[in-house]
Amino acid sequence: MALVEIRDLRVRFHSTGKEAVRGVDMTIEPGQRLGLVGESGSGKTVTAMALSGLLQRGSAALSGQVLFQGRDVLTCPREELRAIQGPGIGVVFQEPMTSLNPLIRVGCQVEEVLRLHTDLTADQRRERALEAMVQVGLPEPEVTYEKYPHQLSGGQRQRAVIASAMVIHPKLLICDEPTTALDVTVQIQILRLLKSISVRYGVAILLISHDLSVVRRLCESVAVMYRGRIVERGNTEDVFASPQDDYTRRLIAAIPTRKRHE
Amino acid sequence: MRYVLKKTGVLVVTLLLISLLAFLAFQIVPGDPTTKLLGNDYTPERAAALRHAMGLDRNVLVRYWDWLTGFVTGDMGDSYSYGMSVEKVMEGKGAVTAGLSLMAWLLVIAISIPLGITLARWQGGRLDRVFVAMNQVFMAIPPFFLGMLFTYVFGLVLKLFVPGGFVSWRESFWGFLGYLIFPALAIAIPKAAMVTKLLRSNILNEMDRDYVRTAYSRGNSRWGVIRGHVLRNAILPVVTFVAMTLADIVAGSIIVEQVFALPGLGRLLIASIGNRDYPVVQCIVVIIAFIVVFMNYLADVITQTIDPRIRLG
Amino acid sequence: MKLRHNKNFTAGAVITAFMLAVILVGMVWTPYDPNAMNGAAKMAGPSLSHPLGTDNFGRDIFSRVVEGAGATALIAGATVAIGLAAGLVIGGLTGYYGGWLDEIVMRLNDAVAAFPSILLALVLIALFGQGKYNIIIALGVLFVPSFARIVRTEVARQKSLDYVRSARLMGAGDMRVLFRHILPNIVPVLLPSVAIGFNNAVLAEASMSYLGVGVQPPDASLGRMLNEAQGYLLSAPWYALSTGAAIILLVLGFGLLSEGMGGGYGAG
């Protein structure tokens, strides 16, 4: 069974009346790394947020089906949805500067998902959190555990966010522009890290990005979104080699040449 | 720590400055106190003798220093109209004002913090809608009028307390507290409406922040997000505000003491203004000013020490 | 969010318009002479001839509330006018020129702003004596710093904007730029603060007159009347209630207006 199966997802925001997602179909297999590309406003983030259950149901009208391990996250009861959020689907957001709580120690934020979803004791949680922090490459985990987010650099914060999502080994990690806010060398390190986590634990990754070259580094398959629809999908290298859709061609053409041949 | 030291330094200077200004103002503006003291017995010779006896012919800064050291050690000079020392006149009255203000302050906290959180938790619910609609009305009620309403409803109609039947805390501690409840509520309710509104809107503003989305993505419920994540962020500015509120509450108690016939510093202050009893007015004003400045200082220091972003730089 | 503000604004406008209309009419006509005593109708309850009843001297409470509200509003208005006028000049100049004067004024402002205005007003009254005009002056002086601060911040912000630069390029002098070009542009920011200032003045006047150190008899004011009404709470509760309701309506109207304009309490 596919891990994620999205059928004819449509999202219309009440505030603007705009249909941001207009009939998206998509499947993600366990352990698969899928890139979802498109310009801003193409609906890629909205699709991901619908999948992770973070679209406040009051603010938008959703229709279609979003099945995670066979359960529809659009219609299932809140408790069931919350049981998926964390152990089922972890999310890494774009802004490492603001996606951590400024007043809570880094370690506590990393282990929060364990506190919510497991019966581990405080000591066991701390142990797991430290392990995760080592894996994502945070220096001196014992010290970092006690720090507050503002005491970390941007790259370290993003590692902390990744640690907080993967500490429970979710089935799917949604990464929404995880490297956009970081400088280039850190970008590459973070992408490598995500790939190694995916391979090591069999975690599926849905990478949201406007940058095809980032997707190419991490994902074996790609879907291109344009104006709320998926216009092209397939194996990443194939799409690069022979794009079928006009919009995809333009996206590829927009990558600086040096990057394209990297 | 350096910040706290610096603030403490500023505090001491501010206190000195306030006391100096108050002293000068009450020395210069009202004119010569001997006129009032001597009354019909006034002759220039007697006035000069009295001035010498009172030390009024000395340099004003020397007199300020004398007054200040006296003030700090509890020797606050003599009242013009009561024929005794200021500290004797004020005896027991400070406890009434302090008790009233403190109780009102605790009521503000006890009402607004749980209420603000509850309203934000069930935003748009029935209670929340009632609050949003009524809040401006609560904030518009002057405390002394609320005090009169309480006197009428709880004192005269329901007979829950006897208006004017104040008991000193020396006679009966619980009777004292019991009598203070309604005046304290009268002061507290408009302030509590303000704090509740502030806390509620702070929480709701914080709910739009990125870290809240992160917290939801880990499977937190709305209540879990508020309790575990938002509250500590939303409450920081409220703590500062609540600390500074005590100053307003002390000022409010000056007026509400009048409504409930409470023998506190406020009534004494008003009576002394009427009597032009400047030594008493000066002392009470300086005491209240000190409390105000000190609370603002405390609010500053608290903000600095509870926010790790500032504490740890 | 926007709708809520507009609701506030509409409600505030209706209440304020009502109060102002009553006050304005009251200046030329009230049902009875507010000070005419009537021994035959002492402490009468609300009735058709006296909608809010009569007081201990048989005076018509409705007429007195109307007159008192007028007096209170006038005092508050005059207070705000003094504070605003001085605040505009001081805040405008310090904001425009900056420098050491700016520093001194703002430090002074911080010191004054930290105190409850009632306490400072009481100090000034203690020093200068009681009465209507001293109240206006005392409160007016107290309101200068908060207005000066708001004006200063806005002027300092606006003076680097393009329209100011182009006005200066056109050859406008400092004073002309400041008072003809910048000040009209800060009115929207100032309005909510004016409404809140008005409310604070109403409450301060009512408090001080209630305490007996503000407006002196025979002048009417809402605070003064509450002071008298307290003695008759049991026998004539309508006296205190209608006077208090007038204060609340005055304050509520302006509070809602300010909230609707996006100011809110604490903005002043």
- The whole-angstrom separation of Cα C13 and Cα C256 is 8
pLDDT score for A233: 92
| C-beta separation of C163 from C186 below 8 A | no
For B218, the closest of A103, A113, A150 (CB atoms) is A113
CB contact under 8 A, B144 and C207: yes
pLDDT score for B30: 62
| C-beta separation of C198 from C254 below 8 A | yes
C266 within domain boundaries: no
Domain A1-88+171-262 has CATH 3.30.230.10: no
**Chain B residues with CB inside 8 Å of A102's CB?**
211, 233, 308-309
| C-beta separation of B238 from B220 below 8 A | no
- The whole-angstrom separation of Cα A114 and Cα A120 is 7
Complex confidence, ipTM: 0.90
CB contact under 8 A, B247 and C213: no
For C190-248, the DSSP string reads HHHHHHHHHHHHHHHHHHHHHHTSSSPTTS--HHHHHHHHHTTTTT-HHHHHHHHHHHH
pLDDT score for A84: 93
* Residue B92 CA to its chain's centroid (Å): 17
C46 within domain boundaries: no
Q: Which amino acid is at C15?
A: I
pLDDT score for B73: 83
- Give residue for tokens 């679209």: A55
CB contact under 8 A, B211 and A98: yes
For A92-155, the DSSP string reads E-S-TTTSS-TTS-HHHHHHHHHHHH----HHHHHHHHHHHHHHTT-SSHHHHHT--GGGS-HH
pLDDT score for B173: 83
For chain A, residues with pLDDT lower than 70 are: 56-57, 257-262
CB contact under 8 A, B144 and C240: no
pLDDT score for A57: 64
pLDDT score for B313: 63
C37 within domain boundaries: no
What contacts B43, CB < 8 A, 6 or more positions away?
none
B66-91 pLDDT per residue, tens: 888 888 888 877 887 787 888 888 88
C12 within domain boundaries: yes
- The whole-angstrom separation of Cα A165 and Cα B213 is 13
For A82, the closest of B214, B219, B229 (CB atoms) is B219
Q: Which residue has the higher pLDDT, B40 or B265?
A: B265
Q: Which amino acid is at C172?
A: A
CATH number of residue C253's parent domain:
1.10.3720.10
| C-beta separation of B288 from B265 below 8 A | yes
pLDDT score for C5: 53
**Chain B residues with CB inside 8 Å of C266's CB?**
194, 198
C252 within domain boundaries: yes
C140 within domain boundaries: yes
pLDDT above 90 coverage of chain B, percent: 31
For C233, the closest of B151, B252, B292 (CB atoms) is B151
With both helix axes pointing from N to C terminus, report the angle between A154-166 and B210-217 in degrees, rounded to the nearest 10: 20
Q: Which residues of B touch A (CB under 8 A)?
A: 209-211, 213-221, 224, 228-229, 232-233, 236, 307-309, 312
The number of domains in chain C is: 1
| C-beta separation of C109 from C149 below 8 A | yes
For A116, the closest of B210, B213, B220 (CB atoms) is B220
Q: For every one of its 268 residues, what pLDDT tens digit does chain C have, with 9 covering 90 and above?
A: 344 557 888 888 899 999 998 888 888 877 777 777 777 777 777 777 777 777 777 788 888 888 889 889 999 999 999 999 999 998 888 888 888 888 877 777 777 776 777 888 888 887 877 778 888 888 888 888 888 888 888 888 888 788 888 887 887 778 888 877 888 888 888 888 888 889 888 988 898 889 888 877 777 788 888 988 888 888 888 888 989 999 999 999 988 888 888 654 433 3
Beta bridge partners of A225: A230
Q: CA quadruple A217, A219, A220, A224: dihedral positive or negative? A: negative
pLDDT score for C267: 33
CB contact under 8 A, A165 and B217: yes
**Chain C residues with CB inside 8 Å of B22's CB?**
123
Beta bridge partners of A28: A4
- The whole-angstrom separation of Cα B23 and Cα B149 is 38
| Mean pLDDT to the nearest integer, B276-300 | 85
What contacts C29, CB < 8 A, 6 or more positions away?
none
**Chain A residues with CB inside 8 Å of B221's CB?**
78, 82
| Mean pLDDT to the nearest integer, B229-240 | 90
Q: Give phi and psi for A72, each to the nearest 5.
A: -85, 110
Q: Do chains C and A touch (3 or more CB pairs under 8 A)?
A: no
User: Using a CB cutoff of 8 Å and minimum separation of 24, what contacts does A20-23 make?
Assistant: A20/A46, A20/A60, A20/A228, A21/A46, A21/A47, A21/A50, A21/A228, A22/A227, A22/A228, A22/A229, A23/A64, A23/A228, A23/A229
CB contact under 8 A, C126 and B148: no
Question: How close C81 comes to chain B (CA, Å)?
Answer: 21
pTM here is 0.85
Question: How close C33 comes to chain B (CA, Å)?
Answer: 26
Token couple for A145: 């555990």
pLDDT score for A120: 94
Q: Which amino acid is at B18?
A: I
C47 within domain boundaries: no
**Chain B residues with CB inside 8 Å of C116's CB?**
247-248, 250-252, 292
Token couple for C52: 């809010």
For B58-109, the DSSP string reads S-HHHHHHHHHHHHHHT---B-SSSSSBHHHHHTTHHHHHHHHHHHHHHHHH
Other beta carbons within 10 Å of B290: 16
C110-134 pLDDT per residue, tens: 777 767 778 888 888 878 777 788 8
C33 within domain boundaries: no
Question: How close B251 comes to chain C (CA, Å)?
Answer: 6
Closest chain A CA to residue B210: A99
Closest chain B CA to residue A100: B211
B112-170 pLDDT per residue, tens: 999 999 999 999 889 999 998 888 888 888 889 999 999 998 888 888 888 877 888 77
The strand pair at A19-28 and A172-176 is best described as unpaired
Token couple for A7: 């059928």
pLDDT score for A258: 59
Which ranges in chain A are annotated with CATH 3.40.50.300?
1-88+171-262
Residue B274's closest CA among C122, C139, C203, C75? Answer: C122
| Mean pLDDT to the nearest integer, B170-177 | 82
Q: Which domain covers residue C146, as residue numbers?
A: 3-28+53-260
b/e per residue C85-107 (b: at least 16 CB within 10 A): ebbbebbbbbbbeeeeebeebbe
